[in-house]
Structure 1
C-alpha cells in the first residue's frame, strides 16, 4: 500500500506556526517550520520539544520567508537535522536578515524577563537560537528556481510554483509514493505565473491556507489606495498628531514607501516627514529592490528618512505632524511599541493598520477597540483613532481563495484547510461546499495525523493534542488577565472620588477571596 501520512504540527486551527510533516516512500519531508505568534499560550509552543526527530528528516522545504513559516528553522539544526532546506533564491536572500533580527529580539526579550524581580532564583529563560545557529542553518540552504523539479530519491520529487504572495513565495507540488500533493503556502493577489509544460490540477490532496477565508475585500486600484493614504496623513497632520503605521518588513513597507514617493512626486501630498524607524525593514528594502522595480526612488529622498539608532528613534517622541513607520506589523515587538506608548493617549494621533492582525496580538486588541492596553509594563489609555487600510494586503481574500482552488481542480482526494482562525476556516469550508468543488474539506487540529492514498479521501490516523482547542482560542487566560488589569486601571481613574475607588477595590478583593 502506497500510503502517505501528513501530520499538522502548526497552522492548524490557527494562523501561525506553519509546519507539516509528510512521510512516504521511506522519506520524511518537513514543509515550513514557523514561529507561533499571538497569545502567550501559542507562543509557548515555540519552546516545546520538536514533535518529531529532526535527525530523521530527509528534506525541509520552505514556502516563503515570513517568520510564521520560517522562524523555527534553526531549531531543526540545533536538534540534529542534517538535511537540506530548499527555498527560492529571493527567499534565501530575505531569510537571513529576518532570522538575525528574530534572534536579536529574542535575546533582548530574554534579558528583560530574566532581570525581573519575580524571576530571582528561577531557571533563566534562553532564546530559541542565536547568531551562530543561523550561520549553521545557512550551510544547509539550497536555493532552487521555480518550476525546477528536485529529485529527493525513492521516486520522490518536488517543484515550486509562484504563489504571488511576497517576493520568492511559493506553493509546493510534492510527488511521493505515486501521489501528487500540493501545499499552497500563502496565496497572494497577483496574477498567477504558471510553469510551462507542467500540468496544473489533478492533485490527489491539497493543503490550502485560509487566512482571509471569511471575507471579501473590495477591489482597490493603487491610485485609490494612495488617495486613502494621503487622506489619512492630511487629517492627522492637520489635527496636530502623528500617523503611526506598524511595519511588516517584507513587501508591505516597500509598497507604502513607494506610495508616499508617488504622492510626493505628483504633488497630491505635501512633503511631510516620513520616518522609517525599523532597521530590519531597511535591510529588507535594500534586498527586495533587487527583485522589485517600481521606477520610484524610495532610498534618496530628503523627507523619507531612515532612522538607525535607538537614540534617534526616541527623539521622534518629541515631534508631531509626521508619519512613523515602525516594526512590528502586529505590534508584538520592535520600536512601534514605544511610539504607541507616547501616541495612543493623544486623541489627535492615528494608528493605521495595513495587514492581518493575528488573534491575541497587541495589534488585534487595538483593532478590536480596546480602550486601554498594557505595553512593556505600562498601562496606556487609547484615545488615538484606530484605522485600517486593506489595500496593502498580500493575501487572497475569500473569492480569490475559491478561485485558486477551482483552478487547481480536480482534486481526487481531500483538501485540508489550514493557516486560519476558526471563523475563516469554517466560512471557507462552507464556500467550497457551496461551490460543489470540495464538499468534505477537512480542518485539521494541532497534532492530527492523516493517511493519504491516491484518489481517495484521507483517513484520520491519530487524534489532535489534548490541549489543541485551548491553544488556538483567540484569548487565553493571560490575555484576559491583561485586559482585566487595563480595565480596572482605566475604571479606577475615571471614578470621581477616592471613596468610590476604595469601594471598587474592596469589591475586587471580596471576589478574589471567594474563589477557593
Structure 2
C-alpha cells in the first residue's frame, strides 16, 4: 500500500488523499473536497486530476463539509463510478449542500451528477468502531471525531486480519473540541479514541492555537449570549447572529432555547427568528438522527447526542425515559412556536419543564423590523456575512445604535464580518471619521464605516475545530502503559505551514515526555508516493524540500545542479 497527499498541503481546504496497492489491485480516495477561500481555489476546483477517475474504486468520506466532500459530484462527471462510504448523516447533509450549491457552481454541481453519487452506509452494528469489509482483507473503521453530526475519523486496515502482516492508517478528518470528560459544543458527543495504527494522517487547522479555559467553557459562552439578549431587551433593538448552516446555527439555537427556558416569562417579550433556508433544510432533515443509538454487549449508547443536553436539563443519559425527553428537547429547537402542539417535558429540572419551541415562523420584512419596538433575535446565514440572508439584514441593521451584531465563529480578515470585527473597538466618533467602505462580494451593496452605529461582538466557544491541546489529545491518548499514539508515523496536512510546523513541534515535545520516538512528517507536493509497508517512512530531508521548491520556481537551474 502507498499513499499520495493530493491536498491540502500548506492549505486548510481541499482535502483529498489517494491510496493504492498495485499488487492487490486497490485504488481509492479518502475525501474529495473543494478549496474555499484559497488563492488556488479556482485552479483546484477545476483541475485535471493526477489519477484516472474511472480507475478509482471507491471514496471514503470523513464528513459533509464541502472542503472534504464538494468535488465528489464532478468526479462522477469525469468517469468515477464507485461507491462513497460514509455515515448516513454525512450522506444526507452532503446531498442537501450539493443541491443548494448548484446555482452558485453550475459547472461542478448538476442534478445529473448529484443523482449519480452512490452513497453506501455500513449496516452491521455497531457502525462506529466496527471493522467493515470493503474488499478481501481490506477494512474500514469509523470513530466519531466530535466535529459535526456524522463526522468520523477513518481507519483503513489491509492484510489478513489478526496477522502480523496486517497494517493500518487512520485519517483524523476534522477533530472537534470534544474530549470525553469535557464536551464543549452544546449537542455533539465526544471524540472517540482513534486507537493505535502504523500511520496517522492528522489535520492541523489550529495546530498553533491554544484557547483559554474560558473560551472552552459552555457556561461562559451562554452567559455572554444571555447578556447580549438582556441588552437587546433594554434597548428594544435587534441581536443579529450570522452562523454557518452546518452545526453552528443548530448550536446557537440550542443555547437560545436554554436561555429562554431559564426565565420564560422574561423572554416572552423577545421575538426569535431563524432566517436561514439552508440551515432550516439541514435541521429539518437531520433532527431525526439525534435519537440514534448503538448497542454492544454491555450497554446502549447515543450515537451523536452529547452530555450537555442531559446535564443542562437535569436528565440521566442511561435512563430510557430521560433519553426520550432529551430527544424531545432537541425536536423543540426545530419547531415553530406558532403552529405546534408542544407537550412539556415531564422529567428533569425546572429548565426542562420550561423548555419549549421559541422560534416564530413569519420572518418580518425590513420595513416591519424597522418600525417594531419589540426586542428581536435573528439567527441567519452566512457565517462570515458575505452572502445569504446575512447580506440581506446587515446593511439595514448596522446603521442602528440599538443593533448588536454577534459573530459566532472564525471570519477571515477579508470577509464582511472580518472587516466589521476589525472596527469592533473603534468608538463611534472615530468610526464617523473613517473613510473606508465595506463592500459585499458579488453584490452592489456597500456600507460606509462612518455609518455603522451597531455594537459588534464576538461570541467564543462555538468553534467545531479543536485547538492544539485537542489535537495532541487525539494523537496521544493516555493509556495505562503511557501515551498510545494514533500512529507510529504521523503525517500532518490540512493546515497552513505555520500551523503544521507548530503542531509538529508540540507533538515532538509531548511525545518525548514518556520517552516515545514519533516519526512526524510534513508532506509537500514533491513528496509523491510514500510506501506504507516499511516499518517507518523515510522523512523528506528539509534541505531537499527547499531545493525542490526553488527548482519549481526556477527550472532553468536544473542543468547546473545535475543529479
- What TM-score do the two structures reach when normalised by structure 2? 0.70
CA distance in 2, matches of 1:280, 1:260: 19
Q: Which residue, 240, 260, 272 being the options, matches 1:244?
A: 240
**Range with bigger deviation, 186-195 or 328-337:** 186-195
Q: Which residue, 206, 211, 226 being the options, matches 1:212?
A: 206
CA distance in 1, matches of 2:59, 2:389: 33
Shift of 1:342: 2.5
Name the counterpart of 2:171.
Answer: 183
* 1:255 maps to 2:307: no
Partner SS for 1:318: helix
* 1:443 maps to 2:522: yes
CA distance in 1, matches of 2:399, 2:50: 44
**Range with bigger deviation, 222-231 or 58-67:** 222-231
Shift of 1:154: 4.9
Shift of 1:68: 1.5
Name the counterpart of 2:359.
Answer: 304
CA distance in 1, matches of 2:491, 2:196: 16
Q: Which residue, 224, 227, 230 being the options, matches 1:231?
A: 227
Q: Which residue, 446, 461, 464 being the options, matches 1:379?
A: 446
Name the counterpart of 2:196.
Answer: 202
CA distance in 2, matches of 1:249, 1:411: 31
Name the counterpart of 2:267.
Answer: 270
CA distance in 2, matches of 1:31, 1:17: 12
Shift of 1:33: 1.3
Please tell me whether the aligned partners of residues 170 and 487 of structure 2 are also in contact (alpha carbons under 8 angstroms): no
Give matches, 1:106-505, under 5 Å: 106=105, 126-137=106-117, 140-144=118-122, 145-176=127-158, 178-192=166-180, 201-217=195-211, 218-219=213-214, 220-239=216-235, 241-267=237-263, 270-271=267-268, 272-292=270-290, 293=327, 295-296=329-330, 297-298=332-333, 299-302=335-338, 303-306=358-361, 318=370, 321-357=375-411, 361-369=415-423, 372-375=437-440, 376-382=443-449, 383=452, 384-407=454-477, 409-410=484-485, 413-435=488-510, 436=512, 441-445=520-524, 448-453=527-532, 454-459=534-539
Partner SS for 1:395: coil
Please tell me whether the aligned partners of residues 414 and 456 of structure 1 are also in contact (alpha carbons under 8 angstroms): yes
What is the alpha-carbon root mean square deviation over aligned residues? 3.4
CA 1:442–1:385: 2 relative to 1, 3 Å: farther
Name the counterpart of 1:490.
Answer: none
Name the counterpart of 1:483.
Answer: none
* 1:16 maps to 2:10: no
**Range with bigger deviation, 212-221 or 157-166:** 212-221
CA distance in 1, matches of 2:369, 2:498: 38
Shift of 1:413: 4.3
CA distance in 2, matches of 1:451, 1:307: 56
CA distance in 1, matches of 2:71, 2:284: 24
CA 1:18–1:316: 2 relative to 1, 3 Å: farther
Partner SS for 1:444: coil
**Range with bigger deviation, 366-375 or 418-427:** 366-375
CA 1:200–1:93: 2 relative to 1, 3 Å: closer
Shift of 1:90: 1.5
Deviations 1:279-299 (A, max 9, x none): 111111122321233725221
Please tell me whether the aligned partners of residues 272 and 377 of structure 2 are also in contact (alpha carbons under 8 angstroms): yes
Paired residue total: 441
Name the counterpart of 1:30.
Answer: 29
Partner SS for 2:59: strand
Partner SS for 1:291: helix
CA 1:366–1:29: 2 relative to 1, 3 Å: farther
CA 1:318–1:98: 2 relative to 1, 3 Å: same
Please tell me whether the aligned partners of residues 208 and 499 of structure 2 are also in contact (alpha carbons under 8 angstroms): yes
**Range with bigger deviation, 282-291 or 32-41:** 32-41
CA distance in 2, matches of 1:317, 1:240: 11
Name the counterpart of 2:46.
Answer: 47
User: Unpaired runs of 5+ in structure 1?
Assistant: 107-125, 471-516
Shift of 1:368: 4.5
User: Unpaired runs of 5+ in structure 2?
Assistant: 160-165, 181-188, 291-326, 339-357, 425-435, 478-482, 554-563
Please tell me whether the aligned partners of residues 98 and 109 of structure 2 are also in contact (alpha carbons under 8 angstroms): no
Please tell me whether the aligned partners of residues 243 and 382 of structure 2 are also in contact (alpha carbons under 8 angstroms): yes
